[in-house]
Amino acid sequence: MKKILFVNTCVRKESRTNTLARQLLDRLRGEITEVRPDLAKMRPLCENSLVRRDELLEKGDLSASELDAARQFAEADIIVIAAPYWDLTFPALLKIYLENVTVCGVTFYYTSEGIPKGLCRAERLYYVTTSGGPIIHNFGFEYIDALAKEFYGINDTRFISAEGLDIVGADTESILKAAARKFET
């Protein structure tokens, strides 16, 4: 059975991004594990956490709890990221999560030439987002796409969006249904 990791960074109870992502999850086959990054538990990297992580990696202790998120990410067969489109990118929670999963020796390694190579086994990563207006520049997906391909070794990335949901007169239901029709599983 495939392991599907659902990284849910939607903070609103009635999140349209979450609704669209769950429709995708309903079509995928496998065991779904939902991760909701929590700032109370997962902090941005700082000097102390970087020193601790470096010590663990130097000892070869990849089983430490500080690396749980990175191991879980690396072991997933399919990754679904739900991230609303905020300020040309995504919520800060996702950046913090990515800082914690991008770990040399767990999700990637460097070749002798200094080139990152992926250690993740995911065959595909879906990035699901919604926006009130049009998505003009999507630095969020571009960042995720680059990380997936250049660091994690996940070459099949798919962008699914529902845009213009808050434009006066927009048929929100039709826009969401059209986005759901783009699912390729």
Q: Determine contact, residues 95/143, Cβ cutoff 8 Å.
A: no
Per-residue tokens: 71: 């191991």
Question: SS in 3 state form for the chain?
Answer: CCEEEEEECCCCCCCHHHHHHHHHHHHCCCEEEEECCCCCCCCCCCHHHHHHHHHHHHHCCCCCHHHHHHHHHHHCCEEEEECCCECCECCHHHHHHHHHHCCECCCEEECCCCCEEECCCCCEEEEEEECCCCCCCCHHHHHHHHHHHHHHCCCCEEEEEECCCCCCCCCHHHHHHHHHCCCCC
- The per-residue pLDDT for 114 is 96
pTM of the model: 0.94
Task: Say yes or no to pLDDT of 90 above 60.
Answer: yes
- The per-residue pLDDT for 42 is 79
Average pLDDT (68-87) is 96
Q: Report which of 80, 100, 88, 110 is spatially closest to residue 20, judged by C-alpha positions.
A: 80
User: Pick the residue with more confidence: 183 or 143?
Assistant: 143
Average pLDDT (80-96) is 93
Q: Report which of 95, 81, 82, 79 is spatially closest to residue 15, judged by C-alpha positions.
A: 82
pLDDT tens digits along 30-77 = 999 999 877 567 788 889 999 999 999 999 999 998 999 999 999 999
Give exposure, 93-112, as e/b (b: 16+ Cβ within 10 Å). bbbbbbbbbbbebbbbeeee
pLDDT tens digits along 99-148 = 999 999 999 999 999 999 999 999 999 999 999 999 988 899 999 999 99
Superfamily (CATH H level) for 3-180:
Flavodoxin domain (3.40.50.360)
